[in-house]
Amino acid sequence: MSEKIIQTAGRDQLGDFAPMFAHLNDDVLFGEVWNEDALDIKTKCIITVVSLMASGITDSSLLYHLQNAKNNGVTKAEISAIITHTTMYTGWPKGWAVFRLAKEVWE
């Protein structure tokens, strides 16, 4: 496994308002699930991008995960193929929306 992922966004942004959610985000999702060894980090990044795309999430969380995918070795050619393939199952408007964000990240 590569370097351990440590996340503090939950506590930083919602710690006072929603401490349980912050704990689940930082300690469970990122602390345990993202650090589990059965899948490599690049695969987890791809799954996350596809999941957010399929859900229609095209806000800053998808932008974060696209950047995370790039930082963990997903190439421009790979993300283009991933988005194109996923578009066939999730819908054309979602593909356009995600391509706009991905283009920003990979340029």
- Tell me what pLDDT residue 2 has: 62
Digit-coded pLDDT (tens) for 37-61: 999 999 999 999 999 999 999 999 9
Sketch the domain layout of the chain as residue ranges: 1-38, 41-106
Pick the CATH number of 41-106 from 3.40.640.10, 1.10.150.20, 1.10.760.10, 1.20.1290.10: 1.20.1290.10
pLDDT at res. 1: 47
d(CA 102, CA 83): 9
Q: Which residues of the chain have pLDDT under 50?
A: 1
Note the pTM of the prediction, 2 decimals.
0.88
Q: State the Cα–Cα distance between residues 93 and 7, nearest whole angstrom.
A: 31
Burial class (CB in 10 A: 0-12, 13-18, 19+), 35: middle
Question: How confident is the model at residue 99, as a pLDDT?
Answer: 98
In total, the chain counts a number of residues equal to 107
